[in-house]
Amino acid sequence: MLCSFSSQTRRLLLRSFSTSRNVHIFEQLPPKRSGEKLMSYVKNAQYQRLDPNGSKRNLLSAENSSRLRADDIVTIIYKDQKPITGQILAIKRQGISSNILIRNKVGGVGVDISVPLFHPNILRVDIVRRPIKYRPRAKHYYIKGSRLDVGDINKTH
Amino acid sequence: MIYLKTMLKVIDNSGAELAECIKVLRKSPKNCAHVGDKIVVVVQDAKPLTSQITGAAAANRVKRGDICRAVVVRTRSPIQRPDGTVVKFDDNACVLVNQKDEPIGTRVSSVVARELRKKSFNKIVSLAPRVV
């Protein structure tokens, strides 16, 4: 087989063949995080830190039939500040930085507040009222300034 | 985002109803005013002065065309808070103040932003019926 090569090439090839016999093949390392993908591991760690009992995740999960939806009237209860009430216009699902946009009229002035749901200062989110029939679309930005706009919502609704 | 030519609602009982910003105070020329910043305004629309109003309220009335200082209390542009909350109001509004930063009027008629307290406009915050 080697007769077609030059003498120099033949020598090189022989040497590489001889060394290849001594190549040490290492044992495969055990998988890190017991095989879990890095991003899912990071996300789970964040959820464990910010939402240990899973109640906030449950509010956003698509499997939960009593999840938050646009058109619901909610009250957000904080640890150290007054609760805020309003109608949900939109829910942005993006892991621990998920937030809900709520709208209310305070003394005739419309106020939109976007609240990061997984902030440790938020104790819980209470659903005050659900509509009988939900409006179309998942984001209700179109109700602003129209006849569908929210009224003066307070906690007793 | 309050700058030259922005029209603001005036939400006190100084008599002014609509004011136009002509200067943002103590900021670089490229900057704009947010909640709690002082501006100079021209009163564009005012309630007519009637004889029924007496006392301090009558002495502090402003007319159309008056140049006053004012504090921004609500903005349409989003206000980002340290906890990640973002607040947006439906209009731009201000309260007229004098040279010592005391409000000219004796009443504030609608909601103001909480950021005013941080900028030590405590008088305006305590006069306001609601703080968001």
Give tens-digit pLDDT for A20-63.
Answer: 578 888 999 999 998 899 999 999 999 999 999 999 999 999 99
Q: What is the pLDDT of residue A17?
A: 59
Q: Which residue has the tokens 């949900």?
A: A88
Residues A16 and A81 reside in one and the same domain: no
Residues A94 and A130 reside in one and the same domain: yes
Q: Which residue of A has its CA nearest to B110?
A: A107
- The structural domain count of chain A equals 2
Work out the average pLDDT over A107-130: 94
For residue B42, being part of any structural domain is answered with: yes
Count of C-beta atoms within a 10 Å radius of residue B16: 30
Residues A26 and A102 reside in one and the same domain: no
Using a pLDDT cut of 70, give the percent of chain A over it. 87
CA-to-CA distance for B7 and B77, rounded, in angstroms?
14
Reported ipTM exceeds the 0.95 cut: no
CATH of the domain at B98: 2.40.150.20
Residues A26 and A90 reside in one and the same domain: no
Contact B83 A109 (CB under 8 A): no
Q: What is the pLDDT of residue A127?
A: 95
Q: What is the pLDDT of residue A69?
A: 95
Contact A116 B84 (CB under 8 A): yes
Residue A13 reports pLDDT greater than 70: no
Contact A113 B85 (CB under 8 A): yes
Residues A62 and A78 reside in one and the same domain: yes
- Structural domain of B66: 2-127
Contact B111 A116 (CB under 8 A): no
The residue ranges of chain B whose pLDDT is under 70 are 51-58
- The structural domain count of chain B equals 1
CA-to-CA distance for A152 and A29, rounded, in angstroms?
62
Q: What is the pLDDT of residue B28?
A: 83
Q: In Å, how far are A51, A78, B84 from A120, measured between CA atoms?
A: 8, 9, 11
For residue B132, being part of any structural domain is answered with: no
- Structural domain of A24: 2-30
- The closest CB to that of A119, out of B84, B91, B132, belongs to B84
User: pTM here?
Assistant: 0.83
Residues A99 and A52 reside in one and the same domain: yes
Kindly state the tokens that stand for B110. 């609608």
